[in-house]
Chain A
Amino acid sequence: MNIFERFMQIDRRWIFLAIGIVVIIPFFFPLGLPVTVTEPVQNLYDALDEIPPNGQPLLLAIDYAPATLPELEPMSLALLRHAFSNDINVAVLTLHPAGYGLAERAMNQVAEEMGQVYGEDYCFLGFRPGLSAVILGLGVNIRNVYPEDAYGTSLNDIPMLDGIRNYDDIPLLITLAGWSAAEAWVLYAHQPYGQDVGAGVTAVMATDLYPFLDTGQLVGLLGGMRGAAEYEGLINHPDAGVRGMDSQSAVHILIIILIVLGNIAYFGARRKKREMERDAA
């Protein structure tokens, strides 16, 4: 067995180990690679920045589950920090049952960090099942879908929601989702009601949503951990997104090297085999 054939039959667990090591090293020795801001991220930042302070709220839909937490939680933290630092009120809700605790976690963490008051600066509407029915219902009257917030308080008793009836009173809606919820907000909030929608999605989903950027159906888009890192850069608060990008870049380099080596080994092994067959003939 020549070196090429041996490389082709390498136990894949060695590759897992290599990727694990390459992910861990940058946590201890950060590379500090620059993260440039792309247009969809800048557009979302600008759209949020234009919301007048202490007025109509940003509607933040934290529609993710633990499986997509590493990509989407840094986005929610960065968006909440940006909104609260501009004194923008935030109404949080979730359309994913597993998003309930995660929404609370992100919201409470940033609210505590920035001294925000529940009911005056932010509120949590909770979870409702039904996706499209819920999104369409919010366009008629928020109180029809959420008569109470997540803690049983009537929406009429929440000061920041005074006069907030439907999408006409929501300047911007941002959904953070690792499933089809992001597209659903475009279909059922933007399309029938003209609601401005921004999205933060997992990298896997980003390519599916790019067509909605070109048509203006999405005002901006954060794609994966990279999108979170870009947003953290814009608000000057580097966190898990920026920290993770060093590991991300290192793994990408490793994968490229492995692809090149794999191809060299494949073609090398094929050439050797052909030479041996020719010699035998």
Chain B
Amino acid sequence: MGTIIWTTIGAILTLSVYSFLYKDNPFYKFAEHLVVGISAGYYLVIYYFNFIQPNVVAPVFQLRFGDEVIELGSSMWWLALIPGLLGLLLYTRFFPKIGWIGRWSLGIYVGGYAGLGLSPIMQARVLNQIGANALPLTSITNVFLIVGLIGTLTYFFFSMKHKGVLGALARVGIVFLMVGFGASFGYTVMSRVSLLIGRVGFLLQDWLHLI
């Protein structure tokens, strides 16, 4: 019985959202606000029980991390307490007079993430990709790839006017870019249609049991 009720609520909300395709209406607005409200509550609970409780509350107040017992004032205890306090400092933004204190946490957060990401991002997105394109011109595919790469890079080279050889290469680059955008757009259409298919499947199978 519970499943039928929840499925029916889901179906009504699905139809409410799709009613926007006809025109904006109160049913759509209701569904939209419901999503925002429920998401905020859901995220709060998930974040608390999956992160704040085991990683901050348990080590600092209950003196345990998993099944490991922690001593008050030990390095593990401080490692849980300090990030927790830095997180709380972010909320000083709500008090204009002391809002600047939150920048300390933000600075550590941004600096930490930049440091963590610098090497892997450089390696994965730049060096490995350059290596993958250093190919021998022994097959049509490789020639195609190299021409496309040089043409596209030339298109984004703005230090000289795109005339003569540079202009021709840039035009080749545009062709490759357009093919890339076309493939990307095709995939986007496929993705959006998949969402509709998923919802139609839900309505016909899970709700109406027609298939």
Contacts and interface: CB of A to CB of B under 8 A. Distances in A.
Interface of A: 13, 16, 19-20, 23-24, 27-28, 67-71, 97-98, 100, 126-129, 132-133, 136, 143, 147-148, 150, 154-157, 186-188, 190-192, 202-204, 206-207, 211-212, 214-215, 217, 223-226, 240, 243-244, 247-248, 251-252, 255
Given A133-B116, A150-B50, A27 B200 contact: yes
B94 interface: no
B201 A240 contact: yes
A10 to B, nearest CB: 15
Contacts of A136: 116
A13 to B, nearest CB: 6
Interface in B124-171: 124-125, 128-129, 131-132
A215 to B, nearest CB: 4
A187 B187 contact: no
Contacts of B124: 186-187, 190-191, 212, 217
Contact of A98 (B42, B180, B190): B42
Q: Which of B39, B51, B196 has the most CB of A within 10 A?
A: B196
B129 A224 contact: no
Contacts of A192: 119-120
30 contacts: A19-B196, A27-B201, A27-B210, A71-B194, A71-B198, A98-B42, A98-B43, A100-B50, A127-B50, A128-B50, A129-B51, A132-B116, A132-B117, A143-B66, A147-B54, A147-B67, A147-B68, A148-B66, A150-B50, A155-B66, A186-B124, A187-B121, A190-B124, A191-B124, A202-B194, A204-B187, A207-B183, A215-B131, A240-B201, A248-B194
A204 B190 CA distance: 8
The secondary structure that dominates the B interface is helix
A71 B192 CA distance: 10
A157 B204 CA distance: 43
B25 interface: no
Interface of B: 21-22, 39, 42-43, 46-47, 50-51, 54, 65-68, 112-113, 116-117, 119-121, 123-125, 128-129, 131-132, 180, 183-184, 187-191, 193-201, 204, 210-211
A19 B197 CA distance: 10
Given A97-B47, A136-B116, A187-B124, A27 B191 contact: no
Contacts of B204: 24, 27
Nearest to A99: B46
Contacts of B125: 187
Contacts of B183: 207
A108 B125 CA distance: 36
B52 to A, nearest CB: 10
Contact of A226 (B22, B116, B190): B190
Contacts of B210: 27-28
Contact of A69 (B51, B117, B198): B198
Nearest to A136: B116
B211 A28 contact: yes
Contacts of B201: 27, 70, 240, 243-244
Given A13-B21, A70-B201, A203 B194 contact: yes
Contact of A132 (B22, B113, B123): B113
A187 B46 CA distance: 26
Contact of B22 (A13, A133, A148, A207): A13
B176 to A, nearest CB: 13
A212 B42 CA distance: 34
Contact of A71 (B67, B116, B191): B191
B51 A128 contact: yes
A248 to B, nearest CB: 6
B132 A215 contact: yes
A244 B21 contact: no
A157 B121 contact: no
Given A215-B131, A247-B197, A203 B50 contact: no
Contacts of A129: 47, 50-51
Contacts of A148: 54, 66-67
